[in-house]
């Protein structure tokens, strides 16, 4: 018998359970903790530079509203697309907050005398290359193109810029340690068929009402939808809540999505495993991991806590 098969650990926005999301220290920590993949979310600035941020907005993770008061749009939000890279470099990054300024995860990193900054996609890939060269452990990357259709409406096509950066760092073949992820199914078609991208692709599966993309996730999750997906992508990244149904009494039942995806040859990498934010119906992080890993046999998982083994007992 070989070693037990375990899912690949994708450090969601870095070790974001411990340090502010998407900062280089959060990525370094995730690397040290043994993550198999480090995630990047990619958004474009006013001057078409690609930066690593989860949102198309700056206001939930930086002090933009203080430094650039008055630069919000009519909805009150501060958009990455409205700021140049040099302006964005001046911002200080903090733990994610709600609209009212309170922390989303009150028990996470609390110090406010440390200074964290936003960096570019290129800088992050250079940083990861350096970590691997010095430490000698290989790690994969897991970049996401955020809101490609929205960016095109804003006058920038992120996909070719994104693929150029990957190529510059030697990522281009199917066997390279990279998964490209997107919520927009049409963008993944474009990446595969128009840009002839050979790298592994992951279709993220959210809820239609999130408005992440003009994609019908209910249809994608049907047998026919999964079969069509399997013609172009290597796997799906479903929202964790899609993996199960909860009965009125509280009992958790497998939704069948993982098995259906596996039947089409698709890998399944659900998001997001957080020990401080469990999905409904689970009493502990260990119970959640047992369900996803032991019962459903997911192939990978996105987690804010890449030191998973420590938390799975």
127-133: which pairs have CB atoms within 8 A and are 24 or more residues apart? 127/24, 127/27, 127/28, 128/27, 128/31, 128/38, 129/169, 131/27, 131/28, 131/31
Note if 117 is an active site residue: no
Contact 97, 127 (CB under 8 A): no
Chain residue whose CB lies nearest Ca ion: 144
Catalytic residue among 22, 54, 57, 119: 54
CB of 193 to Ca ion, least distance (A): 23
CB of 121 to Ca ion, least distance (A): 13
Comparison of 82 and 144: residue with beta carbon closer to Ca ion: 144
CB of 39 to Ca ion, least distance (A): 6
**Would you tell me which residues interact with Ca ion (CB under 5 A)?**
41, 144
Comparison of 220 and 252: residue with beta carbon closer to Ca ion: 220
Note if 12 is an active site residue: yes
Instruction: Using the structure block, give the residue that is written with the tokens 């409904």.
Output: 280
CB of 101 to Ca ion, least distance (A): 23
Spatial CA neighbour of 220 closest among 211, 230, 234: 230
Q: What does the chain come to in residues?
A: 313
Comparison of 41 and 49: residue with beta carbon closer to Ca ion: 41
Return the structure tokens found at 169. Answer: 């760092």
Q: How many CB atoms lie within 10 A of CB 5?
A: 8
Catalytic residue among 12, 94, 151, 242: 12
Comparison of 260 and 306: residue with beta carbon closer to Ca ion: 306
Q: Catalytic residues, which ones?
A: 12, 54
């Amino acid at each position: 018998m070989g070693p037990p098969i375990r899912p690949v650990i994708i450090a969601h926005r870095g070790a974001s359970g411990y340090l502010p999301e998407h900062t280089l220290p959060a990525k370094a920590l995730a690397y040290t903790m043994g993550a198999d993949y480090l995630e990047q979310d990619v958004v474009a600035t006013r001057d078409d530079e690609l930066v690593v941020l989860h949102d198309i907005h700056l206001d939930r993770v930086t002090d933009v509203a203080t430094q650039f008061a008055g630069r919000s749009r009519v909805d009150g939000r501060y958009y990455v697309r409205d700021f140049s890279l040099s302006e964005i470099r001046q911002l200080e990054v903090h733990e994610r907050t709600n609209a009212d300024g309170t922390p989303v995860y009150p028990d996470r990193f609390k110090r406010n005398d440390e200074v964290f900054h936003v960096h570019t996609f290129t800088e992050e890939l250079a940083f990861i290359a350096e970590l691997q060269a010095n430490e000698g452990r290989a790690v994969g990357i897991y970049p996401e193109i955020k809101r490609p259709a929205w960016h095109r409406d804003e006058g920038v096509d992120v996909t070719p810029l994104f693929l150029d950066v990957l190529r510059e760092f030697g990522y281009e073949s199917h066997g390279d340690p990279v998964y490209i992820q997107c919520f927009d199914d049409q963008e993944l078609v474009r990446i595969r068929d128009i840009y002839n991208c050979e790298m592994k692709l992951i279709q993220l599966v959210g809820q239609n009402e999130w408005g992440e993309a003009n994609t019908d996730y209910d249809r994608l999750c049907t047998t026919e939808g999964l079969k069509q997906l399997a013609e172009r992508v290597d796997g799906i990244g479903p929202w964790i809540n899609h993996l199960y149904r909860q009965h009125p009494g509280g009992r958790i039942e497998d939704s069948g999505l993982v098995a259906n995806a596996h039947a089409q040859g698709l890998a399944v990498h659900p998001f997001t495993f957080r020990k401080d934010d469990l999905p409904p119906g689970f009493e502990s992080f260990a119970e959640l991991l047992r369900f996803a890993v032991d019962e459903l046999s997911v192939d990978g998982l996105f987690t804010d806590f890449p030191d998973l083994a420590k938390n799975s007992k």
